[in-house]
Structure 1
Amino acid sequence: MNDDYLQDLMIRFAYNSTALNGNAATEEETRSILLSEYISKPIALRELYEILNYKDLMKFLEAHQEEEIKAQTIIEINRIITENLDSNQNLTNNEKAKLEKWAADLTWRLKFCTSDEERFKVLIEQHAEFKKLNVFDSENDSTGRALLLLSCMHDKIPPIIFEKYQEERYELAMENQDIEELCILAAEGKKKEKKRLAEYDEEYQIDVKLLKTLSDELEEAHSTFYQDEVLEDEYGQNRAFLDSVKTKRDQEQIKFRVRDYKEHCQDISKDRCAARTNRTRYDDYDEGRHL
């Protein structure tokens, strides 16, 4: 998963998960809070913290996506989600044991899956099972959705996000432990997520040969034409940008930047030639005047 997709995922997951808990912020407001730390209208402090906590949550999920989920993983996820929300995490030994068993069951069941479809169903069943544990003082459902996302990342399958528009059906299915309905709801999101992933993957399919050609053109112009301070600075910026190209948008941008740089080099060269020509004519005139 590339960085742009993960940022988009963070925003959408934060919006939908907090909205399912009753947070009134829109998706655009959630985006603004997470990316710009800007609030366009008054918002309850609790709702603000609920959203901001997802920035640290995504960092944690990315950092631990290769690891098997343990009880301590679950506890840490809940701690991050409930930061600044006056939540109590004083779990009893029995509650910790429940978390250990849930995590062990998840790992054991996934080990015997032979297809993404089997993994998908196991993750949904474990998500429903987690609700029954209800071990935390608050944000049990949010923690369960974060565990579902982490499990998808760990097993390299498209993320499962239950969305705000599914709220009534989702809550009823979770309450009734209706696995079939939960699978239907998750499949709706899974289909959209596959398409979104494909769009981001396509955006990152850059033309290596084209970049090599642009690099050669940049270096040729730099070595062929006189470089004043402005051109040297432009060359340096283009060289750095070319070396960091990751997306098709970057690729299109550097095409125009290299073209502009070559034109600037040619313009400066023409100006220098014209200046030399004028200087020669002036010198010839001046010499003839003194004969």
Structure 2
Amino acid sequence: MTLDHAKFHEEIQATGIFDPDYADDVLARLAYNSSAIEGNTLTLADTVTLLVDERTPRAGTPIRELYEVSNHRGAITRILRAVADGEPLTALLVTELHGLLMDHLAHDHGQYKTSSDRITGASWRPAEPSQVPQLMREWVDQTEWQTAHLDGTALLEAIARSHIAFERVHPFSDGNGRTGRALIAYQTVRTYGFPAIVRVDQRSSYIAMLDSEDVPGLATLLATNLAAEADRYGPPGSGA
């Protein structure tokens, strides 16, 4: 399900978490950066044209790239609804986010993988399909406890550690990176009121941190990006 811009604003305003203008800003930057990290060629300006102006940015753009970006509307809406409702992290929330992000892109969107896979260039192997349900139950329980009980540096390191662990489980046949970064957004909006967005210009260091399980390094990257985001953030009614 791909929301149009008016419906997106309606859903966002109902949550009371973000002003519509800031929601558009977060949507464009998360959709652009997370998709670009995976190789999508749309620019940030293209992304704004597609998501805010609701126009096709460039003739000849592959339909897949348009969906990779536009599907973030549903994901952001689901994240903010979960935060507004005080919804804890569950396996269902994870699969729903994947389903929204991979709508029109994967036949098994919202479902765990059923075939073994390999990450090109990685020094590790993802979990086997038979292991995924149990590993995800354990991941959800640990991540939810940490999000609810830790703060400060310990919390950021827990978010970094859980993201690395999620990517190593690699529970889906495709879309794991986008889903994992959406989960970072959920965890950080829930805790700080605004998201940590991994930027495409940080891709090389970010991928290296995932490969080497560099928890302190990823936590520092998230802290840096949260500090920058704080300058952009305007709570509803602030006029920012």
TM-score by length of 1: 0.65
User: 1:71 and 2:109 equivalent?
Assistant: no
For residues 130 and 56 of structure 2, the distance between their equivalents in structure 1, rounded to whole angstroms, comes to 41
User: 1:125 and 2:161 equivalent?
Assistant: yes
Question: Cα deviation per residue 1:155-198 (whole Å; 9 max; x = unaligned)?
Answer: 2354111101101111111111111221222222112101111x
C-alpha deviation, 1:134, in angstroms: 0.8
| Alpha carbons 1:87, 1:137 under 8 Å: kept | no
User: 1:159 and 2:177 equivalent?
Assistant: no
| Alpha carbons 2:112, 2:132 under 8 Å: kept | no
For residues 141 and 93 of structure 1, the distance between their equivalents in structure 2, rounded to whole angstroms, comes to 20
Alignment match, 2:43 = 26
Please list, as runs of the form range in 1=range in 2, the aligned pairs for 1:108-187 lying within 5 A after superposition. Answer: 108-113=145-150, 115-187=151-223
Q: Could you say which structure has the higher helix fraction?
A: 1
User: 1:39 and 2:56 equivalent?
Assistant: yes
Which of 2, 7, 14 is residue 31 of structure 2 equivalent to? 14
Percent identical pairs in the alignment equals: 23
Q: Which has the higher contact order (CA 8 A, sep 6+)?
A: 2
User: 1:5 and 2:22 equivalent?
Assistant: yes
| Alpha carbons 1:74, 1:99 under 8 Å: kept | no
Q: Which runs of 5+ in 1 are unaligned?
A: 206-246, 249-291
Question: Cα deviation per residue 1:51-109 (whole Å; 9 max; x = unaligned)?
Answer: 11011111111111221110111111111111001342355664222211111001222
Q: Which runs of 5+ in 2 are unaligned?
A: 1-17, 114-128
Q: Secondary structure of the equivalent of 1:131? A: helix
Aligned-residue RMSD, C-alpha: 1.9
Cα 1:34/1:188, change in 2 over 3 Å = same
| Alpha carbons 1:57, 1:77 under 8 Å: kept | yes
| Alpha carbons 2:198, 2:225 under 8 Å: kept | yes
| Alpha carbons 1:57, 1:81 under 8 Å: kept | yes
Which of 98, 101, 125 is residue 138 of structure 2 equivalent to? 101
Alignment match, 1:62 = 80
**Alignment-mate amino acid for residue 103 of structure 1:** V
TM-score by length of 2: 0.78
| Alpha carbons 1:18, 1:50 under 8 Å: kept | yes
For residues 87 and 191 of structure 1, the distance between their equivalents in structure 2, rounded to whole angstroms, comes to 38
